[in-house]
Each structure stands twice: as structure tokens, then as C-alpha cells.
Amino acid sequence: FPYTTLSDLLALREQSSASEVIAKNVEQVAVMNEENTAAVGNMVADAQRLQGLATQLKASVASFRV
């Protein structure tokens, strides 16, 4: 870069810094996506457990008469 001006160098530095920020943000979004996927999996498992408990409760109270 023998003919690079100071403004060119400053612009390159700023672009490099912006690229680093973008890369960090993309990584953060990926981590958040993984966390959300895990949370959804947990919610599905919890919903299935609740369904099972509801079925058991229904069977347990079915013998009672009012």
C-alpha cells in the first residue's frame, strides 16, 4: 500500500472494526438461537409431562361420583 493516504488507512481501520462488531453480533445471534431451541425442547417435554399428569388425574377422579 505505498500510495495509501491517511484517510484510506483510517477508513480501513473503521471497516475492520465494524466487521469485528458484526461478527460478534452474528455469533451472539447464533448462541441465542441455540438457547431458544433448547428452551422450546424443554417446553415440549414439560407439555408432554403435563399431558401425562392430566391423563393420570382424569383416571384417578373417574371413580368418584357426585
Global pTM? 0.63
Return the residue matching grid coordinates 417435554. 45
Residue 28 three-state SS = helix
pLDDT in tens, 34-51: 999 999 999 999 999 999
The per-residue DSSP string of the chain comes to -TT--HHHHHHHHHHHHHHHHHHHHHHHHHHHHHHHHHHHHHHHHHHHHHHHHHHHHHHHHTT---
Predicted local distance difference test score (pLDDT) of residue 64: 86
Cα–chain center distance at 54: 30
